Chain A
Amino acid sequence: MTRKSRRLILIAACGSVLALAVGLILFAMSGSIVFFRSPSDIALQGIAPGTRLRLGGLVKDGSLKRGPDQTVDFSVTDTNATVEVQYKGLLPDLFREGQGVVAEGMLEPGGRFRADTVLAKHDESYMPREVADALKAQGRWQEGGSNGSPKAVTASTEKTLGPRSER
């Protein structure tokens, strides 16, 4: 085998593995990415039911209802709009009314959000970043302001995917 053909084989191998990787990334990007939406986004944008998304906001005071068989209903609000959420499973340790939450799942045709994952903060002084940003965008949140506890002074802690209850 000549030097040239060896080099060609090497380049072809590199090229094909690279193409495979790029192809896989593009394929996965189109199908498995989840967008973050606030309740206002959902109200304004008219998101099609069945789209997987992350919903973030505050758990509305007085909205938490426990059904039979570990089913929970609650509402997520950013004070401008509110979305009802249904979830079956154990809620995270620090899930409370009036505090930040991120729910992952999809919208049902009636406008209710069926969550299969619920993430809450894992520290008294921590608010999920997406929620804090979304609330800031609504003008409902100041650093250390009245709408919840101030951002971490000493330590903000959460595993990114959060202390969550899954599926």
Chain B
Amino acid sequence: MIVETGHFALALALAISLVQTVMPVWAARSGDPALRQTASQAALGAFACVLFAFAALTYAHVTSDFSVQNVVENSHTQKPLIYKISGVWGNHEGSMLLWVLILTLFGACVAVARNSVPPRLRANTLGVQGLITAVFVLFIITTSNPFSRVIPAPLEGNDLNPLLQDPGLAIHPPLLYIGYVGFSISFAFAVAALIDGRIDAVWARAVRPWTLTAWCFLTLGIAMGSYWAYYELGWGGWWFWDPVENASLMPWIAGTALLHSTVVMEKRDALKVWTVLLAILTFSLSLIGTFLVRSGVITSVHSFATDPTRGVFILAILILFIGGSLTLFAWRAPLLRQGGLFAPISREGSLVLNNLFLVAGCATVLVGTLYPLLLEMLTGEKITVGPPFFNATFVPLAIPLLLIVPFGQALAWKRGDVLAAAQRLFAALAVALAIGFAVLALTWGGPVMAPVGIGLGAYLLIGSALEIVSRALGYGASRARSLGQIGRRAAGLPRSAWGTALAHAGVGVVVIGIAAQGWATEGLATLKPGQTLVSGPYVATLDRVGPRQGPNYEEAAATLTIRTRAGDEVGQVETGKRFYPSRKMAVTESGLLTIGVSQVYASLGEMGQDGGVGLRLYYKPLVLLIWLGAVVMALGGGLSLTDRRMRVGVPAKAKARPLPAAVPAE
């Protein structure tokens, strides 16, 4: 009964979101502000309905109701409770329901956030958001109904794909979806602005918190997915330029560009049309990502089931939203009052350069991801565009981008001074170069790119720290006299300044982590108990191998003791090969030993007849920095979100607010 009610709630959500779409348009026609208010109420109603539907599906999964098709296919009575819950979104239907849940959650947040959005803009935004919700709910109801029943109900389910039975994967989809779907708000704001034909700094200020929220979650979601692939797939890599990964990276890059261009728009009233276009493109890339991942065009751990009607439906959604919004853009964008141009050497000039490099990088990823698909469709020729392509295209574009990060921060708004900025950054450059050369000398004969990357990361870290220090220090006559004064001034800096510095420092940390992988080592051998395997500075001794029984799997587990080359024991790792009988599937469980921020990674291979086992041992120096850096970036974004300016109400007239152009923030 609960399941049917859930299904009904979903249908009700469709109706309500249609009301949410139509009302603002009607309100604009009739000029009745009370009608406008209904959009907010409808957004809340749609959220309540989808929440109920989601809860109903969760209930079916938790109680192992095998009369529901979705539960039969993805659950098992023996499965631990956490995976019964995460199994709700560990399949196509449920994950689409989660997608819509987050979509309506954002809609409800916009409806509730009273102060920050002008009413007319809010109503139009909610209207666009309602249309997105309606289309996706329609998609779920017609092609991917999670509530369909099976008669007669089987006694046992098929179990969730063992690869997905992992705590990391339990939280990866919600994080990623909040990111993906969060950009729908920026998109809705952009379309609302186009419908209205007016856009100003108030718009930029209203849209920024949403973009920033989405960006933070997407950052965390991508990092989580990357860490999962690293430890769960058992071959020790952290990024594969796999189409599915690219699908999440593209909206992230475009979203990063959007964040920065919104700052320019808020501060300088420029880049309006470009910002609107970026907001449209960012969500379009999220939709393309959904299409790539969900349609079965790419076979991956994410393409749960391939059903051509779904692919066609998502393609139609793509055409509707991307085509529709771009058409609207072409038609209405000329109406938007253009902001002034500005000096090339200035904070905004450097942010334009940032946008250029980000968009170019995003375009190379898009080409590399779509080209094989298009080529196969057109000629039937099958090719693989792998890491060498992306390393040769994306990396050369990323390096100049990273170089200008601290530089742009050191430039003033309006009219910057290159020499002054270079002077301020001189210390950062000198120290970074010294670090780079020192590392190069210490690791002479190793990969050259690694010290370069370490130097670049150090430059970003020191540059971010210098930004805070030099602002606390002040200039000229107002130069701080004592350490206490510097401390007070640093504490008094707006949180967005700290947030920016933290996020940029996070980028530096990621770069260091990535660069250090140049020194990663790998050892491979067939071992019998007592034998050893060397990788980098560590030696692993195989202690024992034996069978073990898990809740819904059988496991062959190996225990290894890790010692340094000098013979000091560091710790033990356990790696195993699990066999899930319900899916007849084997999964390698890698063993990780964390030493500081470096890791020793063991992965079990085949059992030989003679009692030996294949073992792979990686040494991954500083590898955790890759994900910790991403967390720091998200924290920086979060800190920025708590800035006072993000919370205070928007003044009724944007022009009444003097633009503090001399205060460099963000």
Interface residues of A (CB under 8 A from B): 1, 3, 6-7, 9-10, 13-14, 17-18, 20-21, 24-25, 27-29, 31-36, 54, 66, 69-70, 88-91, 93-94, 104, 122-124, 126, 128-130, 133, 152, 154-161, 163-167
Contacts and interface: CB of A to CB of B under 8 A. Distances in A.
14 contacts: A10-B341, A10-B352, A13-B352, A20-B360, A25-B364, A25-B393, A28-B389, A31-B392, A36-B383, A90-B614, A124-B583, A152-B305, A156-B303, A160-B299
Given A124-B583, A157-B301, A167 B352 contact: no
A127 B414 CA distance: 58
B123 to A, nearest CB: 35
B384 A36 contact: yes
Interface string B227-251: 0010001111100101110000000
Contacts of A166: 235-237
Contacts, number: 171
A115 to B, nearest CB: 14
Contacts of A152: 305-306
A53 to B, nearest CB: 9
B568 interface: no
* Most central of B353, B603, B606 by chain A CB within 10 Å: B606
Contact of B344 (A3, A6, A27): A6
A124 to B, nearest CB: 4
B384 A34 contact: yes
B235 A24 contact: no
B243 to A, nearest CB: 6
B306 A156 contact: yes
* Most central of B237, B384, B585, B608 by chain A CB within 10 Å: B384
A55 to B, nearest CB: 12
Contact of B304 (A10, A155, A165): A155
B586 A94 contact: yes
Interface stretch (B195-203, B417-425, B520-528, B631-639): B520-528
A160 B364 contact: no
A93 B234 CA distance: 10
A156 B587 CA distance: 15
Given A90-B524, A124-B584, A157 B384 contact: no
Give the secondary structure class of A's interface: mixed
A9 B344 contact: yes
Contacts of A70: 524-526, 605, 614
A10 B338 CA distance: 15
B240 A161 contact: yes
B352 A33 contact: no
A77 B181 CA distance: 45
Nearest to B606: A91
Given A17-B357, A24-B364, 15 more contacts: A1-B343, A6-B344, A9-B344, A20-B397, A69-B525, A88-B524, A90-B605, A90-B614, A90-B616, A93-B587, A124-B585, A159-B233, A159-B300, A160-B243, A165-B616
Nearest to B579: A93
Interface in B416-449: none
Interface string B73-117: 110000000000000000100000000000000000000000000
B244 A123 contact: no
A122 B163 contact: yes
Interface string B321-356: 000000000000000000001111000000011001
B73 A154 contact: yes
Nearest to B72: A154
Given A24-B396, A70-B525, A90-B603, A158 B300 contact: yes
A123 B306 CA distance: 15
Given A35-B381, A158-B300, A160-B243, A6 B163 contact: no
Given A90-B616, A160-B298, A33 B383 contact: yes
